[in-house]
Structure 1
Amino acid sequence: MIRKYFFLFFFLVSSQTFAQFVVKGKVTDSATGDPIPFASVLLKGTTLGISTDFEGNYTIDVRSLTDSITVSYLGYISAAKSLEQVPEQTVNFQLKPSDFEMEAFVFEAGENPAFEVIRKAVDRKKDFDKRELSAYQTKNYTKIEIDIDHVSEEFTQRKTVQKVTAILDSIKQLTNDEGEKILPVFFSETISKFYFRSNPELRKEVVEKSKVTGVGITDGSTTSQITGSAFQEYNFYKNWLSIVGKEFVSPIADGWKQFYDYDLIDSVLVGTDSCYLLKVYPLREQDLAFSGTIWINKETYALKQVDLTIPKEANLNFIERIKIQQELQPTSAGPLIPAKTRVQIKIGQITPKTAGLLAKFYTSADSVKVGEPQPTSFFNQSVTLLPGYDEASEEFWKENRQDILSQEEIAVLQMVDTLKRIPIVRFYSEGLKFFGTGYLPFKKVDIGPWPGFFNYNDIEGIRLGMGFRTNLKFSDKWVLYGYGAYGFKDAELKYSAKVTRILDRMHWTSVSLSTQKEIDQVGLEISSLQGNSIFLAASRFGTLRRPYFTNKHQVNFQREFFKGFLMYSDLSFMEFEPLYDFYYLEKGTGEYKSNFQTTEAKIGLRYGRDETILINDNERTSLGPLRWPIFELSYAKGMNWLGGDITYSKINFYVYQRLNMGMFGVSRYEFDAAKVFGEVPYPILKNHLGNETLFYTSAAFNTMNFNEFASDQYASLRYRHYFEGFLLNKVPLLKKLKWRAVGNANILYGSVSNKNIANAPTVDPDGNTIETFGRLDPTKPYIELGYGIENIFKFFRIDFFHRMTYLDNPGAKPFAVKISGQIIL
């Protein structure tokens, strides 16, 4: 009996002694509602605790509890909450962001111990950089959310806004921890497969399923191409990361010591890996560099995870903060693949009477396969949408999401779906699209472009026009385009029409027929401005310089044989009818001629090794090259056939490249060279584009007068450099203004053969003097140098140009000031 009670007593005591207490919860950002991974959660007064996982969750199992629990993390105000003495409880935290300030660290002797850790991590970059893999593929899940936040009182008092909020009050309101409302306007989910191969370096994303809902989103095909993981890739093993069009230096870049300071905080256990915990600080607060925390494996010196922020002090416009959190996992071959990545971009109010934006991106990757590279032809398109990509039930998404949606995200979906159906919202969203694209969608056609609706110039007087193009709802194989305009002064109808048949969307192949009657200007080449409707419309205002009527008919064919390699050809018939005093001497007879006709056949090749191409509706859209140049070579033959009066040949070579110069900024250059063989009227020559306006344009020589020079053989180099704050960030009184220095150098060599000089008479048949064209000395280049400041009041740019040569030409101006406006980050 005594023995029985003894064991009962022992059991009761033991059960109390070894009782388990479980505290769990989630740590989120109070301003955004997003989880905070890697935060330190401790029982107050002890060393017992854990770090939150990538979703901000934590679970602590202990034998005894203290009276409270604390949470701390770099960049946030620490918080504490009381605990109850119960077996299991949930304690959630919403941390408020704090202003990050670099602390002063004093080392009494020797080197900063963090430097040795970074040095070894940099030395072993090639062991863990995923670009060292011959090939890999992953299955990715990506979600994007865009919210309106920082809604000012003035903004909410607007009548249009009140109409919206009155409707939204009927559903759940989303707020941050401070009670401020946020207004979701976009949400997307994408399931895709991502492919990479290293030799040559190619990438491709195959979108299997995509769900897009957002204000102003009428067709998800284009949007679905850019909401996948291909455009949310952040590799910290690169020296420079491209984010929002800017180049940011990695904390483990080869030149890390020029940009960063570090503090070795602790050794911590992350999963089963023992890691160094380091704080990262930019040496100069306005540099495009990160601050935050990185974890480096103590054994391998591989990155384990990062939590980095680009603060508002960096030289960026409108952006208050960019935050990147990433968790990496090793592949079977060794290099690391980001398992989960979360990015937040917070855009502040442009003016006190507007609202801000918060963009949130999340990508997770699994099913990693290493090796087995796909053939080069597989990468012809950067992004491919599988048939039925936008057809999936909610059950499918529940089963295939790598991460379930939170209650807040479900509420976001409901709100966006309601918001986009509100008439006033649809009116303004469609209006913004109309202004930006130039076209207004109306069922199966788009009406526009609006810059061509009204123009005024000295030849046509008031010009009214209207046009249309078919869209994807009409067909994905046929594209129709039409435009008509009437000038009330010249009483002439102008028109253009085009029909295109898309034969293959994978290896982009199309054939088109077009006809046009229009007013053009010598040297302006209206055909090269078709993609820029605003600049094209501006060229039709005011005084037209050397205008002429052109009647042109053309057949065109193009095909992309493999990624980046495009072949195009066309046959065109053009009639030139001058509207100014123009004559040329006919070859052989020496007779004065004013009008002429050409029959021209052209073939061209274009190659951009790493150029990113999207299929925008029924058009190809280039996002530009990443690293390699774009080459283009073309040959044209003018023939005395089918009405053509002139025989000639043209060959043209063009190169464009964007160069990342690291801490010195970004450069862009364009090299253009051509030669015309044969005796031709000077409108067929290259009439170099000058700029006598007050406004800067990169397409022209900004100190050259209109029609000042023409060439039948030439080579030009345009070089533009953007210092991105490199120089002015170091000037104490200027760095707060966030001005950025820019530089320009334009060089042109050219000449005209004697036979082409001779066939351009300087007097008309009646003996009156007429203008022809200016010529360059083959031994003397045209040079202009420029420098300037951009980002003045965040919008304006001013350039100063010095003309270095041909200063004795009539009307030459040795110095010019040009202004322009731009919205840049």
Structure 2
Amino acid sequence: MNRFFLLLFLFLQTLVAFSQTTIKGKVTDATTGDPIPFASVLLLGTTTGMNTDFEGNYELKTSSQVDSIQVSYLGYLTQTKALSKEPLQTLNFQLRPSDFELEAFVFEAGENPAFEIIRRAVDRKKDFDKRNLDAYETKNYTKIEIDIDEVSDKFTQRKSVQKVTAILDSIQQLKDDEGEKILPIFFSETVSKFYFRNDPVLKKEIVEKSKVTGVGITDGSTTSQITGSVFQEYNFYKNWLSILNKEFVSPIADGWKTFYDYDLMDSVLVGKDSCYMLQVYPRQEEDLAFAGTIWINKETYALKQVDLTIPKTANLNFIERIKIQQELEPISSGHLIPSKSRVQIKIAQVTKNTAGLLAKFYTATDSVVLTDPKPTSFFNNAVELKPDFGNATDEFWQKSRIDPLTQEELAVLQMVDTLKKIPVVRFYSEGLKFFASGFLPVGKVDLGPWTEFGNYNNVEGLRGGFGLRTNYKFSKKWLLQGYGAYGFKDERFKYSIFATRILDRKRWTTVQLKTFKEIDQVGLEMESLAGNSVFLAASRFGTLRRPFISTGNQLNFQREFFKGFLFTGGLRKSEFDPLFDFYFLDKKSREYRSSFETMEARFGLRYGRDEIIIINDNERVSLGPDTWPIVEVNFTKGLRWLGGDMSYEKFSFYVYQRLKMGLLGVSRYEFDAGKIFGEVPYPILKNHLGNGTLFYTTAAFNTMNFNEFASDQYMSLRYRHFFEGFLLNRIPLMRKLKWRAVANANILFGSVRNENILNVPGVDPEGNTLESFGRLDPNRPYVELGYGVENIFKFFRVDFFHRMTYLDVPDAKPFVVKVSAQIIL
């Protein structure tokens, strides 16, 4: 009898097993092919359902007789599919985005129940914000994919594009018929260790392994420094998140009620945690705020998951969508670390005849270690590559990936490898790099910069030139660069040649020898504009103002002693040969002269506490600071005993900072002060840069004429504020235009001491006035105030400036209008 019941029990269990159905699959975005996490999957007619995981996967088991399954998620069209009678079924869903519209919610008496949840989450931010940890380390895996999408018909009909598509037709398509075709151009994978220290706040990433493939990518070392996790960090416990150099307000910011509305949608189980599911809506459609869903732990009020999007209505240019999905996990201290993050940035077509761009970033954290803070010297380089970062086997990548590459991603790799070998693609990619960087790589040398190839002005007439430099293929210790030019009107050769020896790449240390002969302009010296080749070329076009021939030799040295602290020093011998009427009173002979020689010893210190520096092949490149200012101190000593015609000292102090003002926008200020000791001709004085053109520039005083003022002691503050959409977004008829208000305030104190008054260009040897020349009153500042509107038709900006002082100076302009074109987000 016992055996009978045992057999009966096993038989019934077998029937149950055979009657149970398992349905699994993956839910993805039909336009991008990316997983959709947290989507709702429901067997219709039952209560059986679940949410997809971070990779978009689901698996349901049921013994009920059901005939269809439904997938839904906010911002996407709901999709239903029929089920078969098979015991194991795989059904993948590709959801298409729907137009997201903000709904109006009406609450009855009492406060919105979501407000109390948000209030408690904000009150407990300090308990979960990882920035409050003394120090921690994480091991991260990051992958980046960049695709061309939304390819227009006219774009595909171009002969160059047809050559590419003809070759790619044989490659596996990235999506099935429910998706849309994309053209991948870049793919990277990076394994790195990230280090954080709280006091002082310092960050560092060591890239252990990196694999980069992309159209136009020649050397992976530079690209690998910016493909790690440090550039893909999104912390919603900050009040403001910086994305694409714009400031977006967090849904749990301290001032949340100013920016957001919320709706309590449901109470759901996420893993083992019971969570509130809240819908988030911007109060103002044009604000830089998120829309989407957040999950908050019921017990702790910690963020569990976020799925947020910047709506199309936000005051942004060219950006069709920014989407951030994140999964957070508590560590032993209770603080939260994002375990997985996925970011999509979709750049729209600039015109109907062009293509769009889609960038996808994925970061997974494998392990988190709480540790004692590392010494500050450890953080000298914000990003560091291990010597063998580019050497890794396929087995290493298979073990390092938190999730294996999908079939779509494998197809992306194949397509990118094929694309970069196509001649027409290489031609266009190298052409774009040539235009952007100024140099065209040809083997071990780079030709350029292209700005030196040709120009025209009233002194040189037609100017032709040619230049080149060595690259990392030639040497990683030597950089040789030079150019030559010839003016067909003045019949003079000009040149600049220098050799740089890189002594230490970790603590950036170089020594450089340089020789030159070039046309310069007083107040627009080539040396001060060396970092802006386009502006330098533009300043040499047309009519040159107070031009002179500068000939000389230079020795430069620089070393970074610790993170952000750079020392520079050197010697410079140069000759000033004016090409305009110029005289000065020689201090020694007390006679008037027109040309002179200088011998200078120079020393400088530069400190940027949180400035991010990368090494671009054989150059040190700054990606700018985050919060702290950049400070520079420079000292120059003019040496008569080493061949100079005069002895003098110059001291200068400079501070630049970008200020995040939250709701009010972003400000930038530059403070510049200096003093020159000794009797010197006015080209050695501080010639304050004016702007006599129609075009706006941040480098000049825009109501000041060229060479209007010079000083031997000065102090200036230049302040610019960008309201973003703060003011104009609140005006009903203006908000649709997406115009943005800007403001300027420039103040200058300066003076010329008695010993240098006679050395200004307004006096010739006979005492006759050659031209008007103003001198600043030390008790009366030069002040100009400006206001304007940017983002007009997405590209144009108009500024209105009022000159508030020195209106009695000849040719003074009390009011000017400046225009400019810019590409901004």
Change (3 A) 1:796 1:8: same
Q: What CA distance in whole angstroms lies between the structure 1 residues aligned with 2:10 and 2:589?
A: 122
The aligned residue for residue 15 of structure 2 is: 16
Please show how residues 179-258 of structure 1 align to structure 2 within 5 Å: 179-258=179-258
The aligned residue for residue 381 of structure 1 is: 381
Q: What CA distance in whole angstroms lies between the structure 2 residues aligned with 1:65 and 1:140?
A: 44
Q: Tell me if 1:538 matches 2:541.
A: no
393-402 or 690-699, which moves further after superposition? 393-402
Q: Tell me if 1:356 matches 2:356.
A: yes
Q: Give the Å deviation of 1:392.
A: 1.8
Q: Give the Å deviation of 1:762.
A: 4.3
Q: What CA distance in whole angstroms lies between the structure 2 residues aligned with 1:100 and 1:329?
A: 29
Q: What CA distance in whole angstroms lies between the structure 2 residues aligned with 1:134 and 1:248?
A: 26
Indicate if the aligned counterparts of 1:138 and 1:195 stay in contact, CA closer than 8 A.
yes
Query: For each residue in 1:709-760, what CA deviation from the matched residue of structure 2 results, as whole angstroms up to 9, or x when unmatched?
Result: 0000110011111111111111122111111111111110100001100344
Please show how residues 517-666 of structure 1 align to structure 2 within 5 Å: 517-666=517-666
Query: For each residue in 1:591-639, what CA deviation from the matched residue of structure 2 results, as whole angstroms up to 9, or x when unmatched?
Result: 1111111111111111111111111111111111101111111111111
The AA in structure 2 aligned to 1:258 is T
* SS of 1:226 mapped into structure 2: coil
Indicate if the aligned counterparts of 2:701 and 2:746 stay in contact, CA closer than 8 A.
yes
The AA in structure 2 aligned to 1:586 is D
Indicate if the aligned counterparts of 1:444 and 1:470 stay in contact, CA closer than 8 A.
yes
The aligned residue for residue 291 of structure 2 is: 291
The aligned residue for residue 505 of structure 1 is: 505
Change (3 A) 1:124 1:23: same
Query: For each residue in 1:280-334, what CA deviation from the matched residue of structure 2 results, as whole angstroms up to 9, or x when unmatched?
Result: 1000111000000001111111111100001111111111101000001111111
Q: Give the Å deviation of 1:180.
A: 3.1
The aligned residue for residue 668 of structure 1 is: 668
Q: Give the Å deviation of 1:61.
A: 2.2
Q: What CA distance in whole angstroms lies between the structure 1 residues aligned with 2:489 and 2:101?
A: 66
The aligned residue for residue 263 of structure 1 is: 263
Q: Tell me if 1:174 matches 2:142.
A: no
Residue identity (%): 73
The AA in structure 1 aligned to 2:804 is M
Alignment RMSD, CA only? 1.4
Q: What CA distance in whole angstroms lies between the structure 1 residues aligned with 2:480 and 2:772?
A: 39
47-56 or 706-715, which moves further after superposition? 47-56
The aligned residue for residue 449 of structure 1 is: 449
Change (3 A) 1:334 1:540: same
Q: What CA distance in whole angstroms lies between the structure 2 residues aligned with 1:689 and 1:601?
A: 24
The aligned residue for residue 57 of structure 2 is: 57
The aligned residue for residue 683 of structure 2 is: 683
The aligned residue for residue 126 of structure 2 is: 126
The aligned residue for residue 727 of structure 1 is: 727
Indicate if the aligned counterparts of 2:691 and 2:704 stay in contact, CA closer than 8 A.
yes
The aligned residue for residue 824 of structure 1 is: 824
Q: What CA distance in whole angstroms lies between the structure 2 residues aligned with 1:432 and 1:735?
A: 35
Q: What CA distance in whole angstroms lies between the structure 2 residues aligned with 1:675 and 1:331?
A: 54
Indicate if the aligned counterparts of 1:494 and 1:518 stay in contact, CA closer than 8 A.
yes
The aligned residue for residue 86 of structure 2 is: 86
Q: Give the Å deviation of 1:10.
A: 5.3
Q: Give the Å deviation of 1:170.
A: 1.9
The aligned residue for residue 304 of structure 2 is: 304
The AA in structure 2 aligned to 1:713 is Q
* SS of 2:689 mapped into structure 1: coil
TM-score normalised to structure 1 length: 0.98
Change (3 A) 1:492 1:337: same
Q: Give the Å deviation of 1:4.
A: 6.6
The AA in structure 2 aligned to 1:524 is L
Q: What CA distance in whole angstroms lies between the structure 1 residues aligned with 2:497 and 2:438?
A: 18
Query: For each residue in 1:524-561, what CA deviation from the matched residue of structure 2 results, as whole angstroms up to 9, or x when unmatched?
Result: 12101111111111111111111111112111111111
The aligned residue for residue 461 of structure 2 is: 461
Indicate if the aligned counterparts of 1:31 and 1:177 stay in contact, CA closer than 8 A.
no
Indicate if the aligned counterparts of 1:582 and 1:770 stay in contact, CA closer than 8 A.
no
Q: Tell me if 1:419 matches 2:419.
A: yes
Q: What CA distance in whole angstroms lies between the structure 2 residues aligned with 1:17 and 1:169?
A: 49
Indicate if the aligned counterparts of 2:456 and 2:463 stay in contact, CA closer than 8 A.
yes
Change (3 A) 1:672 1:763: closer
* SS of 2:225 mapped into structure 1: helix
* SS of 2:683 mapped into structure 1: helix
Query: For each residue in 1:542-587, what CA deviation from the matched residue of structure 2 results, as whole angstroms up to 9, or x when unmatched?
Result: 1111111111211111111111111111111111111111111111
TM-score normalised to structure 2 length: 0.98
The AA in structure 2 aligned to 1:684 is I
Indicate if the aligned counterparts of 2:33 and 2:179 stay in contact, CA closer than 8 A.
no
Indicate if the aligned counterparts of 1:192 and 1:207 stay in contact, CA closer than 8 A.
yes
* SS of 2:603 mapped into structure 1: strand
Change (3 A) 1:6 1:558: closer
Q: What CA distance in whole angstroms lies between the structure 1 residues aligned with 2:485 and 2:805?
A: 42
Q: Tell me if 1:275 matches 2:291.
A: no
Q: What CA distance in whole angstroms lies between the structure 2 residues aligned with 1:763 and 1:810?
A: 16
Change (3 A) 1:761 1:77: closer
Q: What CA distance in whole angstroms lies between the structure 2 residues aligned with 1:276 and 1:442?
A: 59
The AA in structure 2 aligned to 1:217 is I
Q: What CA distance in whole angstroms lies between the structure 2 residues aligned with 1:508 and 1:493?
A: 34
Q: What CA distance in whole angstroms lies between the structure 1 residues aligned with 2:323 and 2:186?
A: 19
Q: What CA distance in whole angstroms lies between the structure 2 residues aligned with 1:805 and 1:240?
A: 39
Aligned residues: 824
Q: Give the Å deviation of 1:267.
A: 1.1
The aligned residue for residue 369 of structure 1 is: 369
Query: For each residue in 1:19-66, what CA deviation from the matched residue of structure 2 results, as whole angstroms up to 9, or x when unmatched?
Result: 532111111111111001111111112221111110000111223242
Indicate if the aligned counterparts of 2:772 and 2:810 stay in contact, CA closer than 8 A.
no
Query: For each residue in 1:251-286, what CA deviation from the matched residue of structure 2 results, as whole angstroms up to 9, or x when unmatched?
Result: 000000000011111111111111111111000111
Indicate if the aligned counterparts of 1:519 and 1:548 stay in contact, CA closer than 8 A.
yes
Gap regions ≥5 residues in structure 1:
none
Q: What CA distance in whole angstroms lies between the structure 2 residues aligned with 1:763 and 1:293?
A: 72
The aligned residue for residue 39 of structure 1 is: 39
Q: Give the Å deviation of 1:761.
A: 7.0
The aligned residue for residue 514 of structure 1 is: 514
The AA in structure 1 aligned to 2:394 is E
Please show how residues 728-807 of structure 1 align to structure 2 within 5 Å: 728-760=728-760, 762-765=762-765, 769-771=769-771, 773-807=773-807
Indicate if the aligned counterparts of 2:20 and 2:63 stay in contact, CA closer than 8 A.
yes
* SS of 2:581 mapped into structure 1: coil
Q: What CA distance in whole angstroms lies between the structure 2 residues aligned with 1:815 and 1:761?
A: 26
Q: What CA distance in whole angstroms lies between the structure 1 residues aligned with 2:610 and 2:434?
A: 31
Q: What CA distance in whole angstroms lies between the structure 1 residues aligned with 2:566 and 2:475?
A: 23
Q: What CA distance in whole angstroms lies between the structure 1 residues aligned with 2:7 and 2:387?
A: 69
Q: What CA distance in whole angstroms lies between the structure 2 residues aligned with 1:171 and 1:136?
A: 44
Indicate if the aligned counterparts of 2:306 and 2:325 stay in contact, CA closer than 8 A.
yes
The AA in structure 2 aligned to 1:235 is N
Q: What CA distance in whole angstroms lies between the structure 1 residues aligned with 2:3 and 2:85?
A: 30
Indicate if the aligned counterparts of 1:33 and 1:176 stay in contact, CA closer than 8 A.
no
Q: What CA distance in whole angstroms lies between the structure 1 residues aligned with 2:760 and 2:665?
A: 46
* SS of 2:800 mapped into structure 1: strand
Q: Give the Å deviation of 1:178.
A: 4.1
The AA in structure 2 aligned to 1:740 is R
Change (3 A) 1:740 1:178: farther
* SS of 1:74 mapped into structure 2: coil
